[in-house]
Every structure is written in structure tokens, then in C-alpha cells.
Amino acid sequence: MGARTPSYCCRLIVGLVGLWAGAGCEALDLTDPGRFWPFQKEPFTDQVPGVSTPKQRREALRQLSARASLAGPEEKQRIADGLAQAYRQEEDASLRAEIVRTLAQYPTQTTMQMFRQAVTDPEAEVRIAACEALARLDAPEAVELLASLVRGDMDPDVRLAAVRALGQSKDQRAKEALKYALIHGDPALQRRAMLALKELTGQDFGGNAKKWLEYLEGGHPEPERRLWIADRLRDLWEAL
């Protein structure tokens, strides 16, 4: 991989946003992103008016997210391809995380390819963003990628994010990975797995890991009966 420069990524993201500034359905030429900057009259340089800082690039990405529902299939593919290129060139981890969140709004084959890369990103912040994005995708591979993080990621916050995303996925195939978290996780991960299972299955065995494991193995344990409002408040707090 060549050297990654913020100015290059800035121009790339500007080019993507410029698709919505009257360029119509014209093909996106990422080799000349300046052509999509509607106010650019002089030869294109690294000094791009209006989008020159990480904060402004982040805002441009949020604009792309907000406008995703207006894009047709071909447009989504072009945007996803451009975001993938921006991700590969971006050095700022927080911006890579924002690119991953934006990609979730443009589900294409390119999107899933980039999520495979994002779950191995060297920065935990980006891997957590990938978990959040994968929770929104109705795809078997999304569960597989999240399960791989539960089993193999070394960062506890990433594992917690992956477990939470598995619960939000509403995909029953997530049960196996959550079972793994119950058996092999530390207390925090086990607690998160039980909350995820409750969200995923609609069952409620409280904080009783043995009952959850019995249920996951095909048993029919008695639901947990809670008498203390403090337990419910704690669950709400931990689910935030």
C-alpha cells in the first residue's frame, strides 16, 4: 500500500459528495475528483475550498449517509467504490470509522468486502464501528464476521461491541457465537451476551448463565422471576 495522505482522502470524499451537486448520473471518475467540485474554477490542488479539515470531511461523510436513500443501485455502487478507496487511503482512525459507518448506508458487494477489511483494522475504534455497521446488515456473512470478533479479537471493547451487534442483528444464527461468549467470556462479556440473547430471542433468564446455556442446548428452563426494580434499571443502563 502506498503512502496515504489526508489531502488525497479529502479530495476523494469531496468528489463523492459532489455527485449530489448536479453531476447527474455521470460516471464517477475518482482519478479526477475535482471535476465534481461545483465551485472549482482554477486547476485542482490540495487546497480544496470548504473541505480541508477532518471535521469538514466528517461532515461530508454524514451528508453522504443522509442522502443514501435517494441513490439508485448504480449510484450506490459508485459511492461505495469511492468510499472503499477513501478508507484504504485514510490515516486518521476516527475518519476510517466514519467511512465504515457511511458504507453501511450503501449496501453493495463492495461494502461487504470493506467490512471484511474493517474487522481486521489495527485500530479498535474502526473495528467497533464495523460491529455497529454489521448489525444493520441482513446477511449471513455479517453474523460470521461478528462471531469471528467475539472469538478472536484481543480488545475487550471490540468483543463487547460484537456481542451487542449480534443481539441487534435479530439473526438466530448469532446464538452460537453468544453461547461461546457465555462459556469463554469474562464476567462483562457474559453479562453482555445474556442481554444480547434476551434481545435476540425474546426469552428472559436474567443473569443466570446456566439457564441461558440450558436454553441454547434445547432445554426449557423456567424464566427468571425478578422482584427488584434495581435489576431492571441495571439492565437498561448496561444496554445503553
Distance CA 201, CA 185 (A): 20
Cβ(146)–Cβ(174) below 8 Å: yes
Task: Say yes or no to pLDDT of 106 above 80.
Answer: yes
Q: Which residues contact 25 (CB under 8 A, 6 or more apart)?
A: 74, 75
* For the chain, percent of residues with pLDDT exceeding 90: 61
| 96 touches 69 (CB < 8 A) | no
The cell numbers describing 166, all together, are: 449480534
Q: Taking all residues of the chain, what is their mean pLDDT, rounded to a whole number?
A: 82
CB 150 within 8 A of CB 181: yes
State yes or no: pLDDT of 117 exceeds 60. Answer: yes
Query: Measured at the alpha carbon of residue 92, what is the angle toward residues 88 and 95, in degrees to the nearest 5?
Result: 80
> Which of these ranges, 33-42, 82-91, 133-142, 161-170, has the smallest mean pLDDT?
33-42
What is the rounded distance in angstroms from the CA atom of residue 99 to the CA atom of residue 80? 10
N-terminal to C-terminal alpha carbon distance within the chain: 38
**Residue 109 near residue 24, CB atoms below 8 Å:** no
Q: What is the pLDDT of residue 147?
A: 97
Q: Residues near 7 by Cβ (< 8 Å), separated by ≥ 6? A: 46, 48
Give yes or no for a contact between 84 and 59, defined as CB atoms under 8 angstroms apart.
no
pLDDT band at 9 (very low <50, low <70, confident <90, very high): low
Residue indicated by cell numbers 449517509: 65
pLDDT band at 22 (very low <50, low <70, confident <90, very high): very low
Query: In this prediction, what percent of the chain has a pLDDT beyond 70?
Result: 71
> Would you say the pTM of this structure is higher than 0.85?
no
**Would you say 61 and 13 are in contact if contact means Cβ atoms under 8 Å apart?**
yes
Residue (of 82, 77, 72, 81) closest to 13 by Cα position: 82
